[in-house]
Amino acid sequence: MDLVFFGSGAFGLPTLQRLAHAHRVTAIITQPDRKAGRGARLTPTPIGAWAAEHLPHVPLLKPGRVSDPESLEQVRAFPADAWVVIAYGQKLSPALLADRFAINLHASLLPRWRGAAPINWAILQGDSQTGNSVITLADRMDAGLVLGQSRRDIEPTHTTAELHDLLAADGPDLVERVLAQHASGTLTPTEQDETLVTHARKLSKQDAWVDFSAPAPACRNRIHGLNPWPGVVVDGAGEPLKILRAQATTLPAEEDSVPGTLLDARQGLVRCAPGTALRLIEVQPSGKRAMPWADFARGRELRASDRLIGGAGEC
Protein backbone atom coordinates (compact mmCIF):
# COMPACT_ATOMS: atom_id res chain seq x y z
CA MET A 1 0.00 0.00 0.00
CA ASP A 2 1.28 3.51 -0.85
CA LEU A 3 1.10 5.88 2.14
CA VAL A 4 1.81 9.52 2.92
CA PHE A 5 2.66 10.03 6.60
CA PHE A 6 2.01 13.26 8.50
CA GLY A 7 3.59 13.50 11.95
CA SER A 8 5.87 15.48 14.22
CA GLY A 9 5.83 14.15 17.80
CA ALA A 10 7.45 10.98 19.09
CA PHE A 11 4.01 9.42 19.61
CA GLY A 12 3.83 8.56 15.91
CA LEU A 13 7.33 7.12 15.60
CA PRO A 14 6.53 3.42 16.31
CA THR A 15 3.73 3.53 13.73
CA LEU A 16 5.92 5.19 11.09
CA GLN A 17 8.60 2.56 11.68
CA ARG A 18 6.08 -0.24 11.15
CA LEU A 19 4.53 1.36 8.08
CA ALA A 20 7.93 1.98 6.50
CA HIS A 21 8.70 -1.72 6.90
CA ALA A 22 5.35 -3.09 5.71
CA HIS A 23 4.33 -0.55 3.03
CA ARG A 24 5.72 2.01 0.63
CA VAL A 25 5.84 5.42 2.28
CA THR A 26 5.90 7.87 -0.61
CA ALA A 27 6.37 11.05 1.47
CA ILE A 28 6.71 12.22 5.07
CA ILE A 29 5.31 15.58 6.11
CA THR A 30 6.46 17.08 9.41
CA GLN A 31 6.65 20.44 11.16
CA PRO A 32 9.56 22.81 10.37
CA ASP A 33 12.70 22.64 12.51
CA ARG A 34 12.41 24.75 15.68
CA LYS A 35 14.95 26.42 17.94
CA ALA A 36 15.51 24.34 21.08
CA GLY A 37 17.89 24.01 24.00
CA ARG A 38 20.16 26.56 25.63
CA GLY A 39 21.92 27.27 22.37
CA ALA A 40 18.61 27.78 20.52
CA ARG A 41 19.81 25.48 17.76
CA LEU A 42 17.43 24.53 14.98
CA THR A 43 16.21 21.05 15.85
CA PRO A 44 14.09 18.71 13.72
CA THR A 45 10.99 17.03 15.05
CA PRO A 46 11.39 13.43 16.31
CA ILE A 47 9.74 12.24 13.09
CA GLY A 48 11.93 14.46 10.93
CA ALA A 49 15.12 13.35 12.65
CA TRP A 50 14.30 9.64 12.35
CA ALA A 51 13.17 9.91 8.73
CA ALA A 52 16.29 11.80 7.66
CA GLU A 53 18.50 9.08 9.13
CA HIS A 54 16.55 5.93 8.28
CA LEU A 55 14.53 6.84 5.16
CA PRO A 56 16.83 9.16 3.19
CA HIS A 57 15.21 8.02 -0.07
CA VAL A 58 11.72 9.19 1.01
CA PRO A 59 10.82 12.85 0.33
CA LEU A 60 10.71 14.74 3.65
CA LEU A 61 8.69 17.96 3.60
CA LYS A 62 8.56 20.59 6.36
CA PRO A 63 6.00 23.18 5.25
CA GLY A 64 5.22 26.13 7.47
CA ARG A 65 1.56 25.82 6.42
CA VAL A 66 0.74 22.55 4.74
CA SER A 67 -2.60 23.82 3.44
CA ASP A 68 -1.10 26.78 1.57
CA PRO A 69 -1.57 26.39 -2.21
CA GLU A 70 2.06 25.57 -3.01
CA SER A 71 2.40 22.93 -0.28
CA LEU A 72 -1.08 21.56 -0.98
CA GLU A 73 -0.24 20.93 -4.62
CA GLN A 74 3.09 19.31 -3.74
CA VAL A 75 1.63 16.99 -1.08
CA ARG A 76 -1.33 15.90 -3.19
CA ALA A 77 1.03 14.93 -6.03
CA PHE A 78 2.50 12.01 -4.06
CA PRO A 79 0.85 8.67 -4.87
CA ALA A 80 -1.09 7.29 -1.91
CA ASP A 81 -3.79 4.78 -1.08
CA ALA A 82 -4.09 6.43 2.35
CA TRP A 83 -2.78 9.29 4.43
CA VAL A 84 -1.82 8.54 8.03
CA VAL A 85 -1.79 11.50 10.43
CA ILE A 86 -0.34 11.20 13.96
CA ALA A 87 0.55 14.14 16.24
CA TYR A 88 1.30 16.33 13.23
CA GLY A 89 0.48 19.71 14.77
CA GLN A 90 -1.25 21.41 11.83
CA LYS A 91 -4.84 21.29 10.67
CA LEU A 92 -5.38 19.81 7.22
CA SER A 93 -7.79 21.90 5.17
CA PRO A 94 -10.80 20.47 3.31
CA ALA A 95 -9.09 21.40 0.04
CA LEU A 96 -6.02 19.38 1.01
CA LEU A 97 -8.09 16.40 2.12
CA ALA A 98 -10.48 16.39 -0.84
CA ASP A 99 -11.00 12.85 -2.22
CA ARG A 100 -8.23 11.42 0.00
CA PHE A 101 -8.67 8.60 2.52
CA ALA A 102 -7.00 10.09 5.60
CA ILE A 103 -6.90 8.65 9.11
CA ASN A 104 -5.70 10.03 12.43
CA LEU A 105 -4.38 8.12 15.44
CA HIS A 106 -5.48 9.81 18.69
CA ALA A 107 -4.42 8.75 22.19
CA SER A 108 -7.81 8.36 23.87
CA LEU A 109 -11.03 6.39 23.69
CA LEU A 110 -13.00 9.00 21.79
CA PRO A 111 -15.29 10.80 22.38
CA ARG A 112 -13.56 11.00 25.77
CA TRP A 113 -10.64 13.44 25.82
CA ARG A 114 -10.71 15.27 22.56
CA GLY A 115 -7.89 17.80 22.40
CA ALA A 116 -4.22 18.47 22.97
CA ALA A 117 -3.45 16.52 26.16
CA PRO A 118 -5.57 13.34 26.28
CA ILE A 119 -3.02 11.18 28.08
CA ASN A 120 -2.49 13.75 30.83
CA TRP A 121 -6.20 14.23 31.43
CA ALA A 122 -6.98 10.52 31.54
CA ILE A 123 -4.56 10.22 34.48
CA LEU A 124 -5.52 13.54 36.06
CA GLN A 125 -9.18 12.53 36.21
CA GLY A 126 -8.48 9.06 37.57
CA ASP A 127 -9.64 7.08 34.54
CA SER A 128 -9.06 3.36 34.97
CA GLN A 129 -8.72 2.73 31.25
CA THR A 130 -7.67 4.59 28.12
CA GLY A 131 -6.52 3.61 24.65
CA ASN A 132 -6.13 4.75 21.06
CA SER A 133 -8.70 5.69 18.45
CA VAL A 134 -8.26 5.80 14.68
CA ILE A 135 -10.65 8.33 13.20
CA THR A 136 -11.37 10.14 9.96
CA LEU A 137 -10.35 13.80 9.85
CA ALA A 138 -13.15 16.28 10.49
CA ASP A 139 -13.50 20.05 10.61
CA ARG A 140 -13.88 19.95 14.42
CA MET A 141 -10.92 18.68 16.43
CA ASP A 142 -10.98 14.90 16.98
CA ALA A 143 -14.66 14.68 15.96
CA GLY A 144 -14.29 12.30 13.02
CA LEU A 145 -15.84 8.87 12.53
CA VAL A 146 -14.26 6.15 14.67
CA LEU A 147 -12.70 3.41 12.52
CA GLY A 148 -11.07 1.36 15.28
CA GLN A 149 -9.94 1.45 18.89
CA SER A 150 -7.53 -0.32 21.22
CA ARG A 151 -7.70 -0.32 25.02
CA ARG A 152 -5.18 -0.26 27.85
CA ASP A 153 -5.61 -0.19 31.64
CA ILE A 154 -4.13 2.76 33.55
CA GLU A 155 -2.12 1.56 36.54
CA PRO A 156 -1.75 3.72 39.69
CA THR A 157 2.00 3.87 39.01
CA HIS A 158 1.72 5.18 35.44
CA THR A 159 3.04 8.65 34.68
CA THR A 160 2.04 10.50 31.53
CA ALA A 161 5.46 9.77 30.01
CA GLU A 162 5.11 6.04 30.63
CA LEU A 163 1.53 5.83 29.39
CA HIS A 164 2.50 7.87 26.31
CA ASP A 165 5.11 5.28 25.37
CA LEU A 166 2.76 2.35 25.98
CA LEU A 167 0.02 3.88 23.83
CA ALA A 168 2.53 4.80 21.13
CA ALA A 169 3.63 1.15 21.05
CA ASP A 170 -0.03 0.07 20.70
CA GLY A 171 -0.51 2.34 17.68
CA PRO A 172 1.02 0.27 14.86
CA ASP A 173 -1.26 -2.76 15.28
CA LEU A 174 -4.37 -0.59 15.35
CA VAL A 175 -3.38 1.49 12.34
CA GLU A 176 -2.44 -1.63 10.38
CA ARG A 177 -5.81 -3.20 11.21
CA VAL A 178 -7.70 -0.15 9.96
CA LEU A 179 -5.61 0.03 6.77
CA ALA A 180 -6.24 -3.66 6.10
CA GLN A 181 -9.98 -3.19 6.57
CA HIS A 182 -9.89 -0.20 4.22
CA ALA A 183 -8.11 -2.25 1.59
CA SER A 184 -10.64 -5.08 1.92
CA GLY A 185 -13.67 -2.80 2.04
CA THR A 186 -14.71 -4.01 5.51
CA LEU A 187 -14.43 -0.80 7.54
CA THR A 188 -17.41 0.00 9.77
CA PRO A 189 -17.21 3.73 10.69
CA THR A 190 -19.03 4.76 13.86
CA GLU A 191 -20.21 8.23 14.79
CA GLN A 192 -19.06 9.61 18.13
CA ASP A 193 -21.68 10.18 20.81
CA GLU A 194 -21.61 13.95 21.32
CA THR A 195 -23.26 13.61 24.74
CA LEU A 196 -20.13 11.81 26.01
CA VAL A 197 -17.54 14.31 24.78
CA THR A 198 -14.91 15.57 27.23
CA HIS A 199 -12.11 17.99 26.35
CA ALA A 200 -8.40 17.66 27.14
CA ARG A 201 -7.25 21.25 27.13
CA LYS A 202 -3.61 22.14 26.63
CA LEU A 203 -1.65 22.36 29.90
CA SER A 204 0.54 25.25 31.02
CA LYS A 205 3.02 26.10 33.77
CA GLN A 206 0.11 27.48 35.78
CA ASP A 207 -1.10 23.89 36.21
CA ALA A 208 1.98 22.89 38.24
CA TRP A 209 0.20 22.71 41.62
CA VAL A 210 -1.34 20.14 43.94
CA ASP A 211 -3.99 20.59 46.65
CA PHE A 212 -3.06 18.36 49.58
CA SER A 213 -6.54 18.79 51.06
CA ALA A 214 -7.81 16.48 48.30
CA PRO A 215 -7.82 12.69 48.81
CA ALA A 216 -4.42 11.09 48.33
CA PRO A 217 -5.41 9.18 45.14
CA ALA A 218 -6.39 12.50 43.50
CA CYS A 219 -3.08 14.06 44.56
CA ARG A 220 -1.18 11.07 43.17
CA ASN A 221 -3.11 11.33 39.89
CA ARG A 222 -2.19 14.99 39.61
CA ILE A 223 1.48 14.29 40.25
CA HIS A 224 1.63 11.45 37.72
CA GLY A 225 -0.61 13.19 35.18
CA LEU A 226 1.70 16.22 35.11
CA ASN A 227 4.91 14.18 34.88
CA PRO A 228 7.08 15.06 32.96
CA TRP A 229 5.55 18.50 32.20
CA PRO A 230 4.67 20.90 33.71
CA GLY A 231 5.21 18.84 36.87
CA VAL A 232 3.83 19.39 40.36
CA VAL A 233 5.94 21.90 42.29
CA VAL A 234 5.68 22.50 46.05
CA ASP A 235 7.58 24.53 48.61
CA GLY A 236 9.58 21.86 50.43
CA ALA A 237 12.09 22.73 53.14
CA GLY A 238 12.16 26.32 51.93
CA GLU A 239 12.91 25.55 48.29
CA PRO A 240 10.91 24.65 45.17
CA LEU A 241 10.59 20.89 44.92
CA LYS A 242 9.08 18.98 42.00
CA ILE A 243 7.26 15.79 43.00
CA LEU A 244 7.63 13.16 40.27
CA ARG A 245 6.14 10.01 41.79
CA ALA A 246 3.98 9.24 44.79
CA GLN A 247 1.91 6.45 46.30
CA ALA A 248 -1.49 6.88 47.94
CA THR A 249 -2.01 5.30 51.34
CA THR A 250 -4.37 5.52 54.31
CA LEU A 251 -4.10 7.06 57.78
CA PRO A 252 -5.82 6.39 61.10
CA ALA A 253 -9.11 8.27 61.29
CA GLU A 254 -7.97 10.22 64.37
CA GLU A 255 -5.00 11.81 62.53
CA ASP A 256 -6.06 15.46 62.22
CA SER A 257 -2.98 17.42 61.19
CA VAL A 258 -3.19 20.11 58.52
CA PRO A 259 -3.09 18.87 54.88
CA GLY A 260 0.44 19.07 53.51
CA THR A 261 2.00 18.24 56.88
CA LEU A 262 5.03 15.98 56.68
CA LEU A 263 4.06 13.14 59.02
CA ASP A 264 7.22 11.07 58.56
CA ALA A 265 10.28 12.84 57.18
CA ARG A 266 12.23 9.65 56.52
CA GLN A 267 9.45 7.98 54.54
CA GLY A 268 8.12 11.14 52.90
CA LEU A 269 4.60 10.66 54.25
CA VAL A 270 2.41 13.72 53.63
CA ARG A 271 -1.06 14.30 55.07
CA CYS A 272 -3.88 14.70 52.54
CA ALA A 273 -7.67 14.59 53.00
CA PRO A 274 -8.88 12.92 56.23
CA GLY A 275 -7.81 9.30 56.39
CA THR A 276 -5.40 9.54 53.43
CA ALA A 277 -1.74 10.35 52.85
CA LEU A 278 0.86 10.43 50.09
CA ARG A 279 4.16 8.60 50.26
CA LEU A 280 6.62 10.57 48.15
CA ILE A 281 8.70 8.24 45.97
CA GLU A 282 10.74 10.47 43.65
CA VAL A 283 11.41 14.22 43.70
CA GLN A 284 13.57 16.79 41.96
CA PRO A 285 15.02 19.80 43.81
CA SER A 286 15.41 23.03 41.86
CA GLY A 287 18.34 22.84 39.44
CA LYS A 288 19.24 19.26 40.37
CA ARG A 289 18.63 15.75 39.11
CA ALA A 290 15.65 13.60 40.01
CA MET A 291 16.24 11.48 43.10
CA PRO A 292 14.48 9.13 45.52
CA TRP A 293 12.81 10.92 48.43
CA ALA A 294 15.19 9.18 50.83
CA ASP A 295 18.19 10.82 49.13
CA PHE A 296 16.54 14.25 49.23
CA ALA A 297 15.62 13.91 52.90
CA ARG A 298 19.07 12.63 53.88
CA GLY A 299 20.72 15.94 53.01
CA ARG A 300 18.23 18.17 54.80
CA GLU A 301 16.99 18.79 58.30
CA LEU A 302 13.38 17.78 57.81
CA ARG A 303 11.02 17.25 60.72
CA ALA A 304 7.60 15.75 61.16
CA SER A 305 5.24 18.74 61.33
CA ASP A 306 7.03 20.55 58.47
CA ARG A 307 4.60 21.47 55.68
CA LEU A 308 4.75 21.16 51.93
CA ILE A 309 2.86 23.98 50.22
CA GLY A 310 1.43 23.26 46.77
CA GLY A 311 1.79 25.68 43.86
CA ALA A 312 5.28 27.00 44.61
CA GLY A 313 5.98 28.12 41.05
CA GLU A 314 8.69 26.96 38.66
CA CYS A 315 11.30 24.44 39.74
Looking at residues 25-46, what average pLDDT do you find?
92
Residue % of the chain over a pLDDT of 90: 87
| Res. 40 pLDDT band, cuts 50 70 90 | confident
> Please, what sign has the CA dihedral across residues 260, 263, 265, 269?
negative
- What is the structure's pLDDT at 311? 61
pTM of structure:
0.95
Q: Is 143 left (phi over 0), alpha (psi -120 to 50) or beta?
A: alpha
- What is the structure's pLDDT at 237? 67
Per residue in 184-209, pLDDT tens?
999 999 999 999 999 999 999 999 99
Residue 315 pLDDT greater than 50, yes or no: no
Nearest Cα neighbor of 105 from 96, 118, 95 is: 118
Residue type, 208: A
Return mean pLDDT, the chain: 95
> Please, what sign has the CA dihedral across residues 253, 256, 261, 264?
negative
Residue 313 pLDDT greater than 60, yes or no: no
Looking at the chain, how many residues does it have?
A: 315
Residue 296 pLDDT greater than 80, yes or no: yes
